[in-house]
């Protein structure tokens, strides 16, 4: 297996203009012989409503059990940031992010939870997962309560 080429690590990189212009990079998993969970939490995700152009905001919690590769965190941050001027529905953003990470690193298991902040009085939560959680691995709760407004 050839060593992946890391092109964004350790240098200034412009924010990609859209998700399709980004490259999720991977690094070798130093503990590929062990099953464990990696969690990324992105509390300030932003995209645009494809109908109105108004901003939409979400909190993402992504858990995965790596196989041979880990997602390189700077490339993931740039990928998520590339949605800022991208118009897409909540469901599309959430599932697209999960699928792109799976494509990049081929984990044993991945679950992504998108907790979208209300606009028009209705929050939308989107969950997507793939693979099987390895036996004996603890998968923590995402830790986000259902939206209750002021109640």
Cα distance between residue 20 and residue 83, in whole Å: 10
Q: What is the CA angle 114-40-145, rounded to 5?
A: 45
- The active-site residue out of 35, 47, 49, 65 is 49
Q: Is the pLDDT of residue 150 over 80?
A: no
At 12 the pLDDT is 78
Question: Active-site residue 56, yes or no?
Answer: yes
At 58 the pLDDT is 96
Please tell me the least confidently modeled range out of 19-23, 24-28, 54-58, 147-151: 147-151
At 14 the pLDDT is 85
CA within 13 Å, CB half, 55: 8
Q: Is the pLDDT of residue 7 over 90?
A: no
Cα distance between residue 112 and residue 40, in whole Å: 9
At 10 the pLDDT is 65
Beta-carbon neighbour count of residue 91 at 10 Å? 13
pTM of the model: 0.89
Work out the average pLDDT over 59-70: 98
CA dihedral 73, 127, 116, 25 (to 10 degrees): 20
At 117 the pLDDT is 93
Q: Is the pLDDT of residue 4 over 70?
A: no
Cα distance between residue 44 and residue 59, in whole Å: 6
Work out the average pLDDT over 41-55: 95
Question: Active-site residue 93, yes or no?
Answer: no
- The active-site residue out of 47, 56, 63, 65 is 56
CA within 13 Å, CB half, 36: 11
Q: Is the pLDDT of residue 1 over 90?
A: no
Percentage of the residues of the chain whose pLDDT score is greater than 70: 91
């Amino acid at each position: 297996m050839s060593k992946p080429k890391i092109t964004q690590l350790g240098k200034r990189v412009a924010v990609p203009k859209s998700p399709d212009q980004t490259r999720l990079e991977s690094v070798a998993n130093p503990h590929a012989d062990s099953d464990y969970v990696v969690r990324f939490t992105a509390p300030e995700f932003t995209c645009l409503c494809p109908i109105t152009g108004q901003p939409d905001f979400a909190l993402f919690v992504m858990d995965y059990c790596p196989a041979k590769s880990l997602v390189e965190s700077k490339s993931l941050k740039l990928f998520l940031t590339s949605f800022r001027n991208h118009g897409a529905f909540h469901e599309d953003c959430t599932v697209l992010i999960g699928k792109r990470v799976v494509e990049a690193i081929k984990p044993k298991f991945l679950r992504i939870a998108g907790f979208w902040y209300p606009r028009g009085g209705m929050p939308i939560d989107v969950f997507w997962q793939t693979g099987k959680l390895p036996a004996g691995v603890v998968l923590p709760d995402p830790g986000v309560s259902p939206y209750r407004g002021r109640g």
